[in-house]
Structures are given as structure tokens and as C-alpha cells.
Amino acid sequence: MSVISMWSSSLLFYLLILGPMFVQQSSAEGAPSFAASKANLFENESDPNVYAEKFLDKLVNALKRNDEQVIDRMIDQYFFFQHCKDSALLASKQSLIKNLKKMTKDGVQLVYKKGSATQPSGYGKSINFNVRSFYAGKFHEKDRIFTVSRRTHKLTKGILEGCNPK
């Protein structure tokens, strides 16, 4: 019994000493180090596309749960309604929430698209967001957000125009 334990401990010792010589090492040009890959993970958090996809996922989940507070807060924050004082625009906000809930209930799929929103092809119902407007709390005239579906075209266009934070 002691011979086996002595043999296994000596084998472990040689593997620890000689093992790195037989294991292929990654070159500096090749795969990034662990620290670099971790940094890339956090850099992606600030990527507008990742940010927008996460926003859309949270919005869809809140709409499915019918969580009024989360929906209201997200619409305020990402569609800039917290800057609106106009009662017609606030009524538009309620209309937007109502339409988004109805579409989600009717099985409309929320789809994230990079770049500008386009009319969906085919039979499927979808909502396309020009999500660059959500990013970094900035709104640009050229980056208006559109929602597009088979039944309602440009649902949110115009709602944002009076809500541009200065």
C-alpha cells in the first residue's frame, strides 16, 4: 500500500515539474489572456448593441409580466419621457405602453435590428427599434426610434420629437 502511495506522489511531483513543458502555451498573438477576455466582457457592456438588446429583453419580460412600474420606468428612461411636460406627449406615452402590451399579448415578436428600422418582409409581425437612440442618454434627430408591425407603422415616430433632453 505504501508503494502505491509513494509511486503516485512521485508521479504527481514529476507532472507538476515537467507538465508545463508538454502543455502547449498560448502565444501573445493568439488567444487573449484571461484579464483581456474579462476586460472585453465589460467593454461589451458599453456597446450600444449589447445595451439595446438587454433593454429590449427587460422590456419584453416586463410586458409579459404586466409589471406596470418597470414598464413605466423603462419607457420614461429610454424614450426620454421624464423630460416631457406636454400632456399630449404623456398621453402618447400611455398609448405607446398600451399598444406594446397589446402587441406582446397578441404574440407580436419584439425584434432588435441594428441601424435604421425597416418594414419587415413576409407575413411575420415584428417591432424594429433603431436602438442607437437608447444609448448613453443621448437623442439625435437622425436616430429616431421606429416601431414597425404589420398593423401599425411608425408607432413611436414623433413621440420622441418633443422629448429631446437638452
State the pLDDT at residue 137: 40
| Model pLDDT for residues 110-149, shown as the tens digit of each residue | 555 544 344 333 333 334 444 333 333 443 433 334 333 3
Which residues contact residue 144 at a Cβ distance below 8 angstroms, ignoring those fewer than 6 apart? 130, 133, 157, 160, 161
Domain ranges of the chain: 48-163
Average pLDDT over residues 94-110: 66
Range in 2-16, 57-71, 79-93 with the lowest mean pLDDT: 79-93
How many whole angstroms separate alpha carbon 87 and alpha carbon 30?
57
| Model pLDDT for residues 17-35, shown as the tens digit of each residue | 666 555 555 555 555 554 4
How many whole angstroms separate alpha carbon 162 and alpha carbon 166?
11
| Model pLDDT for residues 35-85, shown as the tens digit of each residue | 444 444 444 445 555 655 677 778 778 888 888 888 888 777 655 555 556
This prediction's pTM: 0.42
